[in-house]
Amino acid sequence: MHPQDIQQQQIIRAIKTALTFDIAYQKVRPDISSFIAITSTLSLNNFKVWENTIRLHIALSLENYSPKKCRFRTLPLGSLRWLDLCSGDGFKREKALKLLSGAAPNSFLFCLVTRRLNDWVPQVRTAAREALTRLIETTDPAHTVDMLWVSLPCWNSWTRMGELERKSLLAILDKPDIAEALKKRLMTSASGPVSTLFSQVGRTTVFDDVITDFAQHAIQPSLRAKAYRVYFESQFVFVTGKQWQWVDKTQGRRRQVPILVSREIQRVGSVKENLRRAVLDSSPRVRRVAGEILIKELDNLGEQALTLATELAADPCSSVSERGQFALRELQPSCDSPVEALPPTDNLPTFPR
């Protein structure tokens, strides 16, 4: 059996165990310890699948328990707390968020709270903002980093999330322990959307003073290349949305293009020294960025420009060596230009009129 199918069966059993009701006075007091235990082992991918599974089997379990069939009909059904975050009823989702307190028990359930920032009910989004503010104070920073790892790449795809919800998500990065934990995770991750996360965090100033740390020590080449580009261009560039652009009005053809916004930063350290490190980087992706910056900064590098251009021109990667060769041509213009190749005017033959 596939591991995901095994986990799905475990979730179903945990839900059935949790919804073994104490129906005195029609109050539900679920024991969700088994549900918390199994969600602690779930992958943070395919959240939509897990949410649908939880919502479906809660509804199936509740079919056997109808308050109308009970003797006591005056008191309402109690809240299922963390389970109700996946409920199809907006009132239950809102109530569950308002009742949450303390620390999130694991990363999966904390991510469920954050996903409610994109809920289709405005009142639920408001409750999610308030719950996030309460939970972040006591939740383990490791769970918080896991949540940011999943949520920040969805910044532009969560179209129902408003400006207040975005600010509440970015406000989490103001906590020094969370910022440090996220920095360590970004630098040591061998896979994942690290460059996307780095760009999204660039909306704040939390990493402005440590950009060179990412450029020199991050494991993923894509993050090192991104950090070098941010450093040399002195700005973070990130996507704030998409807009339609005409391709051919006569044919009614158009496409969506990203809306880019930049935020300027102050460079720290020697530009020449960091450019030299980028040229000597082990990844061609980083060396390509170095080649682009070298061409732009030829007039400001002095004698070092020729050394770096020669190094790039001899690179085994063709896309890198092309940049180095172009820089060499700019530094050492050819002597056989068309103007100099023209014969002197004194030696031109004369023709009768």
Phi, psi (deg, nearest 5) at residue 238? -140, 160
Q: How many CA atoms lie within 13 A of 71 on its CB side?
A: 3
Residue 255's DSSP bridge partners are: 245
Q: How many CA atoms lie within 13 A of 37 on its CB side?
A: 11
Rounded Cα–Cα distance for residues 14 and 171 (Å): 34
Rounded Cα–Cα distance for residues 56 and 326 (Å): 61
Average pLDDT of the chain to the nearest whole number: 84
The string of DSSP letters for 260-271 reads EEEEE----S-H
Class of residue 67 by CB neighbours under 10 A (exposed 0-12, middle 13-18, buried 19+) = middle
Rounded Cα–Cα distance for residues 133 and 149 (Å): 18
Residue 248's DSSP bridge partners are: 253
Rounded Cα–Cα distance for residues 108 and 42 (Å): 7
- Print pLDDT tens along the chain (353 aa): 677 778 888 888 888 777 765 544 345 566 788 888 888 888 888 888 888 888 888 888 776 655 555 444 433 455 678 888 988 888 999 999 999 888 999 999 999 999 999 999 999 999 999 999 999 999 999 999 999 999 998 888 888 999 999 999 999 999 999 999 999 999 999 988 899 999 999 999 999 999 999 999 999 999 999 999 999 999 999 888 888 999 999 999 999 998 888 999 998 888 899 999 999 999 999 999 999 999 999 988 888 899 999 999 999 999 999 999 999 999 886 434 343 333 443 443 443 43
